[in-house]
Amino acid sequence: MEALEAIFTRRSIRSYRDEAIADETMQLLLKAAMSGPSCVNARDWSFIVVHDREMLNKMADANGRPAEPLRSAAAAVMVCGDLNRSFPPAKDYWVIDGAIAAQNIVLAAHALGLGSVWLGTWPQKERVEAQAKLFGLPESIVPHSVIALGYPLKESAERDVFESDRVHMEKW
């Protein structure tokens, strides 16, 4: 799939076929995640890949009502920030670096025929804490977002997203 087509036709997919994701496909998603820029190339993230059904259900419990798609997802990637690696003068860049990695996963998934939905974790403290507890994370590793993945039940079409009043030319 062409890059622009992938960007323009990506939609959040919450219903999946009962079909596994091949290891080579998951590897491409993780390579995509690690291909984005990060602040001073700190690469201040880590990824937890989950296929286990019981664990996916526990991740859904930990991540609030919008995380229900995890219960039928083939897999999930939890993107985490790694505060030990983040840029010391402005550590909060980890939030941006994690988002870049997660968006690369979402786009690569779509290009490979997978559906995904981005499930927000940070900055909702109760979700961050529940995921950290579930995985027994060290303090320096902060749950950022969960990407639920699976082959989509149906095709999705591009929609019109352009809003000209959001664009300011040369000045505000």
- Interhelix angle for 23-33 vs 93-111, to 10°? 140
Stretch that binds its own copies, among 14-22, 23-31, 149-157 (CB under 8 A): 23-31
Stretch that binds its own copies, among 14-22, 37-45, 149-157 (CB under 8 A): 37-45
**Residue 137 binds to its own copies (criterion: CB under 8 A):** yes
**Residue 22 binds to its own copies (criterion: CB under 8 A):** no
**Residue 99 binds to its own copies (criterion: CB under 8 A):** yes
* Residue 140 burial (CB count, 10 A): 14
**Residue 106 binds to its own copies (criterion: CB under 8 A):** yes
Could you tell me if 94 and 81 are in contact, meaning their C-beta atoms sit under 8 angstroms apart? yes
**Which residue carries 């526990």 as its tokens?**
58
What is the helix (H) or strand (E) element at residue 125, kind and residue range? helix 125-135
Q: How far is the CB of 20 from its own copies (least distance, A)?
A: 14
Per this entry, what is the length of the chain? 172
* Residue 126 burial (CB count, 10 A): 11
* DSSP secondary structure letters along 8-58: HH--B---B-S-PPPHHHHHHHHHHHTTS--GGG---EEEEEE--HHHHHH
Q: How far is the CB of 110 from its own copies (least distance, A)?
A: 8
Q: How far is the CB of 28 from its own copies (least distance, A)?
A: 7
Contacting positions for its own copies (CB under 8 A): 1-8, 10, 12, 28, 30-32, 34-37, 39, 43, 45-52, 55, 89-90, 92-93, 95-96, 98-100, 103-104, 106-108, 110-112, 117-118, 120, 122-124, 135-138, 141, 145, 161-163, 166-172
